[in-house]
Amino acid sequence: MAETKRKKTLEPANSSKRRKGGKEKNWKKGPHLPNALQKELNSLNPTYGSDEEIKSDDDIDVYEYEEKIPEEESKKNRRYDPVDNFEYELPKDFEDEDVASDDDEEEKGDSDDEKHARMLQDITGLPGDAFEGKKKKNDVVVFEAYPESEYNPSRDVLDGDGRITVDDLLNPLHGKPGFSKIRKDVQRIDKKSMSIQPPLPKPQQQKVDRRSAYVYSKKKLQEYESLVKKNREAPTIYFDEDRDIGYSTVGAIASEFKPRTEFEKKMASLINTKQLSEAHNGDGARLLELNKVSVQDVKERQDRLAKMRNLLFRHELKAKRIKHIKSKTYRRLMKKDKLKGASATEIEMNPEAAKQLAEKEEFKRAEERLTLKHKNTSKWAKRLKKRGFDAQDDGTRAAISQQLQQHALLTRKRNSMHDDESSSDDSTEDDDDMSADEDDDASKLKLLENGKNRTLEVLEEDDDMPKSGVLSLPFMVRGQKKKKEAAEEEARLALQDYESEMKQLDGDDDSNHNVSLSGRKVFGAQKKQAPQSKKKAKVNTDNYFDNSDSEDDDADTMEDVNGRMSYTQKDVNIDSNILREESEIGHDPLFKSFDDISKAQGPKIEYEVSLPATNSLKKKGNKKDSNQLKGKTESNKSQVAELASDKEEHDSDTDGEGEGGMVDGMITSGGDYELPSQDDLIRRAFAGDDVEEDFEMTKQEILNEENPEPEKPVLLPGWGQWTHIQKKRGLPSWMLAEHETAKKKRDQDLKKRPDAHLNHVIISQRVDKRAEKLQTKVLPYPFKDKEHFERSNRMPLGPEFNPATTIGSLNRPQVVKKPGVSIKPIKLRKH
C-alpha cells in the first residue's frame, strides 16, 4: 500500500512532464489491453510520441501494475480544462517550509477561507486544521474497489450531490396505468414548491390556541360592555321584568301533565285508548258497553273474597280462644316467648329497638334502686321475715332468694361503678342504709358523728412538710401553713357545728340545756345573760343581735319582764342555728379575716360589735377570741367589760351620727320656702359680689380636671440629699425637660378647646360614652372621606320628611326582584 501511495504522489510529477511534451492526446483510450495486443494495435494505428513509452517498456520487461491515472488528470471527456503552466518552476530540490499553504494557494476558490484560517492560526498559534473541521472531510479518498451499490455508495452520494429525485423514481413507472396522474401531481407539487412545517409542540400549540380564543372572546364580550355599564351605573336594577311565574290555574297544570312513572304510563295508555276516547266523544252509551266484565272474572273475584273472609274468621276464633285462657303459666310463657322473639330478632335488626330496650332496662334498674321493691320490703317478705325463714318451705325460701338475687342484679351496676371510689363511698352507702332505716334521728346522729370524726382526723393529721424542693422554700412553707391554718379553722368551725347539732339532737327533750349550748357562739349576749339569770334564755337570732346592742338589751329586759316560756326558745334557737349557717355560707368564712375589719376603723365600729356573734372563732391573736375558744369555763368578766366599753363607744358614735343627721335634717328640711326671706335676701345680695372671679376659678378647676396639670418633678425624699452638691445642682435636666413638654402639651390642649377664648363659658369636653354609640367609629366601606359620608347622610329619608313623589325613589333598594323568580344571566338584545 505504501508503495502505491508513493507512486501516486510521484505520478503527478511524471504526468505533468508528459503534458509538457504535449502528448496528452496520444493517451491511451479504451479498455486496458495486454501489452502484446497493444503492440499489435499500435502497429496497426501508429501514434507519434509513443517511442519513449515503448522504450521504457522495453527497458522494463517485467510486468508491472500500472496505476490508473487520476481522473482529473486523465482529462477524460474533457472535463478538466487544459491549463498551460506558465509559472515559474522552482528547482526540484527546493523545499518549502510550509507545504500546506503552498498547495492551498493554488486554489483560488478556497482562498478566503484559507486566509481566515491562516489568520486564526497566526493569532492562536494552533495549527490551521484545528479550525477547519468539516473541510478536511472533503479530502477523504474513496476507493472504488467494489461496484456501486447501496452498501457501497458512490462518491457523489457521499458528497450529497447525487440525490435521488422523484423523477428517478418515476421513470421506471413510465407507461404504467396511473402514471400520468402521478406525474401531474408531482408537477403540481413542484410548481407550488411549498415546504410543510412540522407541527408545533403541544404546549405551544395550546398557547397559540388560547391566545386566539382570548382575542375572539374579547371581541365577543365587548358587545356586552354597554349593557354592563348601564347596569353598573343604574341606581336600581330590576330583575322582574320578564318574569314567568308559571301556570296560573289548576286546569293549566293538569293539561300539561305528562305520565312519567310506569304506573302513570300504564294508566295513560288505558285512558287514551282509541275506543275510550271515541266513546267519550260520542254519547255515553258506548262507555257502558266498555264497562262489561266477563263472568269468569267475577267468579274469580268472589272466590278470592270468600277465602279471605274465611281466613279472617278463623283467625278471629283463634284469638278469642286464646283470650279465654286463664292460665298464668301460659301467659308467662307466652310473654317470655314474645319478649325473647322480639328481643332476639328485633334488637339484632333494629338499633332503635335495642336502644329502647336498653332504656327500659335502665329504667327498671333505677326503679329498683328507688323503690327497693325486691329487697324484702314487700308486705309478703316482711311477713316472712317476721315468721322466720326457717319456718318457710323450700319454695318460699327460693322465692325470697330469687328476689334478692334480682335486686342484686338490678343494682349491681351501680355498685360496680362506685366500687373503685375512695372511702367517701362507704359513707354514701352508709347513708343509703341509714335512709332505709326508720330511725331518722339516729341516722342523723351517726352522720354527724361521722363528719365529726372525719374533721377531727383532718385536724389531728399532721401535715408532713416537704424538706426539700420548691415546697420547702420559706415562702411556700409560710403559704402552706396559712392555708392549713385556714383549713383547720374551717374544720374547727364545722366541728363546732357538728357538736351543736348533735347536742341539739341529743337534747331533744331538755331544751334548757340546749339553750346554754347554742349560746356559745353568740357569746356576747350570752355572757351577759348568764350571770343575769340562768332561766332567761332568750331569743338569739343573729340578725336581731346584729342590729344593735342596746336594742338587744332592751329586748332582754323585756323578756325578763315577760318571762317567756322555754318551749318557744327551743324553736328559736334552732332557727338561729340555721340562720347562722346561712350567714356563714353567705360570706365565705375563709375570706373574711378579722384583721381587715379591724383595720377599717371609723365607720366599721358597729360592725365590730356585731362581729363576735357571727364570726367569733376567727379572731385570732385577739384576747377575746382566745377566751372564746377556751369556752364557757373561763370567767367572762373582762370580756363583759370590754364589750360594755365597746358598746359605749358605739353608742356614743351613733349618738353623734344621730345628732349630725338631726342637724342635717334641720338644715335640709326647712319649712317650705315661699317668700324671699332675710336669709335669701342676704344670699342674693352677696351672690353677685365677685361672680366673675368665682367663675374663673371654677373654670380653672374644670380645666385642671379635664386636662390635668403635670405633676411637679420631685426627687425621691432622701435621695441624694446627704451632700450639698445635689442640692446645688437641682433636679436632673431630663426631669425638667419632661415637665416642660408636659406643660406645653397641656397648654396646646387648652388652646384647642372651644372655650379657650371665651372667658365666660365652660364647654365640657367630657365624652359621653352612651352618646358615642350614636356615632360611627369607622367610615362605612365605600367612603374614604368623612365629608362625603356626612353629606350623603344629611337628608332624612322618611315619609314625614319627603314628598310622596320622591319618597319611593329615595328609598328604593339597589336590586328589585320578585321572590321566587330566578335571576337569569344578561341577554344581549339586538337592536
Partner 1 sequence: MQKGRHRSLGRTTAVVTQHQIVTHRAAIGFQKRSRLSVFKFKGHPLSTAPPSPAHQNPFRPPAAAAAFTPTPSRRTQNPPTLTVCSNMEIQDFSDDIDVKVKKYQRGEGADLEALKDKKLKGQLANREELFKKSANAAAKAEKWLMQTESGLLEPEGIEKTWRFSQQSIVQEVDVASRKNQFDIVLPDLGPYTIDYISSGRYMLTAGRKGHLAIMDLHTLKPVKDFQVRETVRDAVFLHNELFFAAAQKKYTYIYNRAGTELHCLKEHGAVRKLQFLKNHFLLSSINKSGHLHYQDITTGQIVGNYRTALGRSDVLQLNPYNSVVTSGHSGGTVSMWKPTTSTPLVKMLCHRGPVTAIAFHPNGHLMATAGMDKKIKIWDLRTYKTLQTLPGHAKTLSFSQKGLLAASTGSFTQILQTSDSENSQNYNRYMIHTMAKGYQINKILFRPYEDVLGIGHSSGFSSIIVPGSGEPNFDSWVANPFETVKERREKEVRVLLDKLPPESVMLDPTKVGTLRDVKRREKRTKAAAVAAAKNVAVKKKTKGRSKPSKVARKKQEGVEKVKRAFVEDEEGVKKKQKRIVEVSELPVALQPFVTKKGK
Q: Does 789 bind partner 1 (CB under 8 A)?
A: yes
Interface mask toward partner 1 for 401-440; x: CB under 8 A: ----------------------------------------
**# residues contacting partner 1 (CB under 8 A):** 83
Among 662, 687, 750, 756, binds partner 1 (CB under 8 A): 687
Residue (557 or 806) nearer to partner 1, CB = 806
Site string for partner 1, 702-721 (x = CB under 8 A): x-------------------
Residue 313 is classified by DSSP as: H
Query: Is 100 or 779 the residue whose CB approaches partner 1 more closely?
Result: 779
786, 815, 818, 823: which one binds partner 1 (CB under 8 A): 786
Residue with cell 354592563: 228
Judged by CB under 8 A, which stretch of 297-305, 394-402, 512-520, 779-787 contacts partner 1? 779-787
Q: Among 44, 674, 830, 831, indicate the residue that binds partner 1 (CB under 8 A).
A: 674
- Count the Cβ atoms, other than its own, within 10 Å of residue 577: 19
Tell me which stretch binds partner 1 (CB under 8 A): 93-101, 199-207, 239-247, 793-801. 793-801
Cell numbers placing 453: 370524726
Amino acid at the residue 498: Y
In degrees, rounded to 5, the angle at the alpha carbon of residue 644 between the alpha carbons of residues 640 and 647 is 140
Closest CB to partner 1 among 112 and 768?
768
Pick 773 or 831: Cβ nearer partner 1: 773
Q: Hey, what amino acid is at 103?
A: D
Among 363, 380, 389, 801, binds partner 1 (CB under 8 A): 801
DSSP secondary structure string, 530-543? HHH-SS------HH
Residue 406 to residue 412: CA distance in whole angstroms: 10
Q: Which of 650, 633, 386 has the alpha carbon at shortest distance from 523?
A: 633
Selected binder of partner 1 within 140, 295, 774, 828 (CB under 8 A): 774
Q: How far is the CB of 741 from partner 1 (least distance, A)?
A: 17
User: Quick check: 49 binds partner 1 (CB under 8 A)?
Assistant: no
Show the cell assigned to 93: 530540490
Residue ranges of alpha helices (H) inside 223-273 are 225-233, 250-255, 262-271
Alpha carbons 56 and 462: distance in angstroms, whole number? 146
Piece of 77-85, 289-297, 470-478, 695-703 that binds partner 1 (CB under 8 A)? 695-703
For residue 421, the minimal CB distance to partner 1 (Å) is 38
- Determine the Cα–Cα distance for residues 727 and 720; give it in Å rounded to an integer: 8
Of 392 and 583, CB closest to partner 1: 583
Single out the residue of 168, 809, 815, 826 in contact with partner 1 (rule: CB under 8 A).
809
Integer Cα distance of 102 and 99 in angstroms: 5
Residue 247 CA to residue 254 CA, distance in Å, equals 10
Name the amino acid, one letter, at 196.
I
Interaction of residue 788 with partner 1, rule CB under 8 A: yes
Binding status of residue 797 toward partner 1 by CB under 8 A: yes
Contact 515, 568 (CB under 8 A): no
The residue from 4, 226, 748, 776 that contacts partner 1 (CB under 8 A) is 776
Give the phi and the psi of residue 816 in degrees, each rounded to 5. -110, 125
- In terms of CB distance, is 131 or 789 closer to partner 1? 789
| Helix segments in 419-548, DSSP class H | 424-436, 440-460, 474-506, 511-518, 523-532, 542-547
Contact status: 546 vs partner 1 (CB under 8 A): yes
Nearer to partner 1, 206 or 231 (CB): 231
Q: Of the listed pieces 130-138, 372-380, 543-551, 726-734, which binds partner 1 according to CB under 8 A?
A: 543-551
Q: 426: part of which helix (H) or strand (E)?
A: helix 424-436
Distance between start and end Cα atoms, the chain: 95
Return the C-alpha cell found at 615.
364570726
- Residue 302, all three cell numbers: 268472589
Q: Which is nearer to partner 1, 400 or 613 (CB)?
A: 613
Which candidate, 403, 446, 404, 406, places its Cα nearest to that of 426? Answer: 446
Per CB under 8 A, does 691 bind partner 1? yes
Residues 232-271, one symbol each (x = binds partner 1 by CB under 8 A, - = not), give: xx-x------------------------------------
Separation CA 376–CA 362 (nearest Å): 21
Report whether 46 contacts 54 (CB < 8 A).
no
DSSP state of 200: P
The nearer residue to partner 1, 136 or 232, going by C-beta atoms, is 232
The residue from 124, 543, 652, 748 that contacts partner 1 (CB under 8 A) is 543
The answer for residues whose C-beta is within 8 angstroms of residue 41's C-beta and 6 or more apart is: 33
The CA distance from 234 to 236, in Å, is 5
Applying the rule CB under 8 A, the residues between 733 and 772 that interact with partner 1 are 755, 758, 760-764, 766-768, 770-772
User: Which region, judged by CB under 8 A, interacts with partner 1, from 154-162, 273-281, 493-501, 652-660?
Assistant: 652-660
User: Applying CB under 8 A, does 732 fall inside the site for partner 1?
Assistant: no
Q: Contacts with partner 1 in 601-640 (CB under 8 A)?
A: 602-604, 606-607, 610
Instruction: Give 574's DSSP letter.
Output: H
Separation of alpha carbons 369 and 411, rounded Å: 6
Kindly indicate which of the ranges 78-86, 346-354, 715-723, 782-790 contains the residues binding partner 1, using the contact rule CB under 8 A.
782-790
Q: Which of 407, 409, 415, 410 is nearest to 376 (CA)?
A: 407
Asked if residue 688 binds partner 1 (CB under 8 A), the reply is yes
Site string for partner 1, 579-598 (x = CB under 8 A): --------x--------xx-
Least separation, in Å, of the C-beta of 610 and partner 1?
A: 7
DSSP state of 50: -
691 three-class SS: helix
- Is 59 strand, coil or helix? helix
Report 177-236 residues binding partner 1 (CB under 8 A). Answer: 232-233, 235
Tell me which stretch binds partner 1 (CB under 8 A): 62-70, 140-148, 492-500, 654-662.
654-662
Look up residue 38 and give its amino acid.
Q
Q: How far is the CB of 651 from partner 1 (least distance, A)?
A: 13
